[in-house]
């Protein structure tokens, strides 16, 4: 069969005022360019586990959600879904099926809304795809009728056994960065976490040798790629992290990852990360003060406990020559309209090289979604297209939706100007100069 893997690319946001701001603020434009073009790692993993004998192609539907005409030559098309683009993905699936192409859908969104997806796809996969995908392909080849597949009914995905993703299928698209996974999951279970539905298993680390093997495969396609680790929390295990860095260093690459604030506790790890080419760590701080962080995790209270040393920890990371991208969620239950000024002050106090502000977003499948639905606080339930992290779709507890929107504009207009970027970044570069 001819099998197509169709990723939905580009970023999404609907709030017109914020979109207008995004087009003008230097800090937003810069970040948008960096991440707008990343390949779908999930789909190239599926390609890697597809049984031999099929002709495989990778496609991307661009930011406008339009599929390239070549997908219609396929017998089967696998589509990966996030909530924000799922209506676009359903529309593509409908068009494909009208033209006789069979469609399989998987990914974060359909994992929690399989019945909804079954109205648009022949096959819908719940959970991690690697171990169930060969069975889906076999079923389509036999002409079986469509169904919902549960990954949990297949042997669990052993991350130590993952093959090299099929980076070679990506072709000549001008990607800024290539994604590699070193770990799956996160020990902290935040109630809003949008990766939550895939995090139900325990935290899993891959073998360092396999990670290096995958990066080498990328370097065959692009000599010095920038690597983005598509992890939820890379450096939970510090000793494993040090070994990863030691083996990365000889490759002389630059990379970015997401991790929690505890990297700052280990000076040797920070030194090895820098030497291994780490350029930035993205850390979910969520809120500058302790109180709003109380109870956001289902089992632990890690972030609330760490909040009091956030400033010092971030300074240690940046003093090691690694820029920090501090992420804040605006509109947590204990946030009042003061939060916007507090985040601004915090960002300048550290000062943070990069800051990401997003609004609390009830993604389907999260405890947050269920709670807000039960409390009658969702503005438009099931408007999945609003799950962008930028569109307000709930009643915050400590302000009105409009106050939250206005506060985000206010803060964005201050954090992302040329002046503020300079103010936040100059100390980092000066620190590097002092180091010689």
Residues at the contact surface with ligand B12, assessed by CB under 6 A: 7-13, 35, 38, 40-42, 45-46, 78, 80, 82-85, 104-109, 125, 128-130, 133, 179, 181, 194-195, 198, 230-232, 258, 363, 387-390
The Cβ of residue 105 has, within 10 Å, a number of other Cβ atoms equal to 26
Return d(Cα 175, Cα 217) in angstroms, integer: 15
Q: What is the 3-state secondary structure (H, E, C) of the chain?
A: CEEEEEEECCCCCCCHHHHHHHHHCHHHHHHHHHHCCCCCHHHHHHHHCCCCCCEEEEEEECCCCCCCHHHHHCCEEEEEECHHHHHHHHHHHHHHHHCCCEEEEEEHHHHHCHHHHHCCCCEEEECCCCCCHHHHHHHHHHCCCCEEEEHHHCCCCCHHHCCCCCHHHHCCCCCCCEEECCEECCCCCECCCCCHHHCCCCCEECCHHHHHHHHHHHHCCCCCCEEEECCCCCCCCHHHHHHHHHHHHHHCCEEEEECCHHHHHCHHHHHHHHHCCEEEEEEEEECCCCHHHCCCECCCCHHHHHHHHHHHHHHHHHHCCCEEEEEEEECCCCCCCCHHHHHHHHHHHCCCCEEEEEECCCCCCCHHHHHHHHCCCECCCCCHHHCCCCCCCECCCCCCHHHHHHHHHHHHHHHCCHHHHHHHHHHHHHHHHHHC
Q: Supply the minimum distance, in Å, between the C-beta of residue 317 and ligand B12.
A: 19
Nearer to ligand B12, 48 or 315 (CB): 48
* Minimum distance, C-beta of residue 257 to ligand B12, in the bound complex (Å): 9
Considering beta carbons, is residue 319 or 378 the nearer one to ligand B12?
Answer: 378
What's the CA angle centered on 325, arms 319 and 328, to 5 degrees? 130
Which is nearer to ligand B12, 249 or 378 (by Cβ)?
Answer: 378
Q: Which is nearer to ligand B12, 45 or 302 (CB)?
A: 45
CB of 46 to ligand B12, least distance (A): 6
- Our CB check for ligand B12 shows the closer of 65 and 427 to be 65
86/47 Cα distance (integer angstroms): 21
Nearer of residues 89 and 351 to ligand B12, judged by Cβ: 89
Question: Strand pairing of 204-205 and 183-184?
Answer: antiparallel
**Closer of 292 and 362 to ligand B12 (Cβ):** 362
Q: Which is nearer to ligand B12, 11 or 379 (CB)?
A: 11
Whole-number minimum distance, CB 430 to ligand B12, in Å? 31
For ligand B12, the closer CB: 139 or 198: 198
State the minimum distance, in angstroms, from the CB of residue 431 to ligand B12.
28
Shortest Å, Cβ 165 to ligand B12? 8
Q: How far is the CB of 121 from ligand B12 (least distance, A)?
A: 8
CB-count exposure of residue 247 (10 Å: 0-12, 13-18, 19+):
middle
Q: Is the peptide bond before 351 cis (omega within 30 degrees of 0)?
A: yes
Could you tell me the smallest distance in angstroms from the CB atom of residue 169 to ligand B12? 13
- Which CB, 80 or 393, lies closer to ligand B12? 80
Question: How far apart (Å, rounded) are the C-alpha atoms in residues 74 and 56?
Answer: 9
Question: In the complex, what is the shortest distance from the CB of residue 433 to ligand B12, in angstroms, rounded to a whole number?
Answer: 32
**Nearest to ligand B12 of 105, 316 (CB atom):** 105
Minimum CB separation from ligand B12 for residue 436, in Å?
34
> CB 118 → ligand B12: shortest distance, Å?
13
């Amino acid at each position: 069969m001819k099998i197509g893997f169709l990723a939905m690319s580009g970023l999404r946001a609907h709030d017109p005022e914020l979109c207008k701001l995004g087009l003008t603020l230097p800090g937003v434009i810069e970040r948008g360019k960096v991440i707008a073009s990343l390949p779908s790692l999930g789909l190239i993993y599926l390609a890697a586990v597809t049984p031999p004998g099929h002709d495989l192609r990778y496609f991307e539907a661009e930011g406008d959600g339009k599929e390239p005409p070549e997908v219609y030559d396929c017998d089967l098309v696998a589509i990966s879904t996030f909530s924000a683009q799922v209506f676009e993905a359903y529309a593509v699936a409908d068009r494909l099926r009208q033209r006789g192409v069979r469609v399989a859908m998987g990914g974060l969104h359909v994992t929690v809304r399989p019945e909804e997806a079954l109205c648009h796809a022949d096959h819908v996969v719940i959970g991690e795809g690697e171990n169930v995908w060969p069975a889906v392909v076999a079923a389509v080849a036999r002409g079986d009728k469509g169904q919902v597949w549960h990954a949990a009914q297949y042997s669990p995905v052993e991350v130590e056994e993952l093959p090299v993703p099929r980076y070679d299928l990506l072709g000549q698209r001008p990607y800024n960065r290539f994604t590699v996974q070193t770990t799956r999951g996160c020990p902290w279970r935040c109630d809003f976490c949008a990766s939550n539905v895939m995090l139900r298993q325990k935290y899993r680390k891959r073998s360092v040798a396999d990670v290096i093997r995958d990066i080498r495969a990328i370097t065959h396609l692009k000599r010095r790629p920038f690597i983005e680790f598509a992890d939820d929390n890379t450096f939970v295990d510090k000793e494993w992290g040090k070994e990863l860095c030691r083996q990365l260093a000889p490759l002389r690459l630059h990379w970015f990852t997401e991790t929690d604030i505890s990297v700052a506790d280990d000076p040797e790890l920070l030194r090895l990360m820098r030497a291994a080419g780490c350029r930035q760590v993205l850390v979910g701080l969520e809120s500058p003060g302790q109180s709003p962080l109380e109870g956001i995790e289902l089992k632990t209270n890690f972030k609330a406990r760490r909040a009091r040393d956030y400033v010092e920890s971030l300074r240690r990371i940046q003093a090691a020559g690694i820029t920090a991208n501090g992420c804040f969620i605006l509109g947590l239950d204990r946030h009042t309209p003061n939060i916007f000024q507090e985040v601004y002050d915090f960002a300048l106090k550290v000062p943070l090289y990069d800051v990401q502000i997003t609004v609390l977003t009830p993604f389907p499948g999260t405890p947050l979604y269920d709670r807000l639905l039960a409390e009658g606080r969702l503005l438009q339930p099931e408007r999945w297209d609003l799950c962008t992290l930028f569109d307000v779709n709930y009643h915050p507890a400590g302000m009105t939706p409009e106050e939250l929107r206005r506060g985000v504009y206010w803060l964005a207009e201050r954090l992302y100007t040329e002046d503020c970027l300079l103010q936040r970044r100059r100390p980092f570069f000066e620190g590097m100069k002092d180091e010689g």
